[in-house]
Structures are given as C-alpha cells and as structure tokens.
Homo-oligomer: A and B are copies of this chain.
Amino acid sequence: MKFRSILAASAVIVATGFGTATIAQDLPMPVQARQGQFKMMGLNIGVLVAMARGEADYDADRAQAAADNLVTLSSIDQSFHWPEGSDNMTLVGTRALPEIWDNLPDVLDKWGAFGAAADGLAATAGEGLDPMRAALGPVGNSCSACHDDYRASD
C-alpha cells in the first residue's frame, strides 16, 4: 500500500491554457520509459504514414530507416517496463489498463505480433511506396490489437 500511495502522490494533473491535459510528472521511471518507447514507435510510424498518405515524398532511405527502427524497438525486452502497480487505476498519467497484468502472456504475444509486422515492413519499406504502404497496414493493426484491449481510451 505504501508503494501505491507514493506512486499516486507523485503524479499530477495540470490544466493549461492549451487545453486540459494530463501531464505525467514524476511518474516511475519504468512508466516514463515505456511511454518513451511508444513515442519512438510513433515517430517512426509517423514518418511512414506521412509518406503513405502523400503528405511527404516517398524516400526509400528514410522509409527503410524508420522501418528498421521499428524492428529494433520490437526487440527491446519488456520486462522492466511493466512493474505491478503501474496501471491507470494506480497512477495518473498512464493509460495502461489493469487487464495487462492479468493477461501478460497475451500482451507479450501482441508485442511479438508487432515485431513480426515490423519485420515484414522492413523487408519492403525501401522498395517503393506501394510495397511500403501495403506492409504498413499490419503494423497499424498490431498496434490497435493491443490498444483495443489494454489501453484506456483517454
């Protein structure tokens, strides 16, 4: 209980002039790190989505680098990122549902599915816009599969 209280006390919600926002401050390092991991994934996926949508010119080198980064990230050992007591019922500033910890094998399966999709993307990302676009869909689906079950909607 003490751990839980400390975690709860170390997170704050701040409303700013830029709209109401939940700001994760002093979250436990594992939570900051896993959120950072998703930011990194988002950055690289964003590079590819922009090309897929025609918002950025297709660039084979950039596409390959982004896909390779996703493969690299998929090989990060997740065991340090998800300590017990770091769900959104315990902490302000995370959207991680408690169901994660009731279903860790399934969560890791879904993480593995992301890795497989990233591998597929990296195999084609540098070979043209259409192949990259086709291989990007499964990556997005792998993200959604986990978010649908294990991430709060807000």
Contact = CB atoms under 8 A, between A and B. Distances in A.
Nearest to A29: B43
Interface in A56-88: 62, 65-66, 68-69, 72-73, 75-77, 79-81
Query: How many interface residues does chain A have, given as a range?
Result: 35 or more
Interface stretch (A31-39, A103-111, A113-121): A31-39
Tallying the copies of this chain within the complex gives 2
Given A32-B39, A33-B36, A80 B18 contact: no
Given A33-B36, A69-B76, A69-B80, 14 more contacts: A12-B16, A23-B23, A29-B43, A30-B43, A32-B43, A35-B39, A36-B39, A36-B40, A37-B40, A40-B76, A43-B81, A62-B79, A68-B77, A72-B76
Q: Which 4 A-B pairs have the closest CB atoms?
A: A36-B36, A33-B43, A36-B39, A65-B77
Interface of A: 10, 12, 14, 16-18, 21, 23, 25-26, 29-30, 32-33, 35-40, 42-44, 46-47, 62, 65-66, 68-69, 72-73, 75-77, 79-81
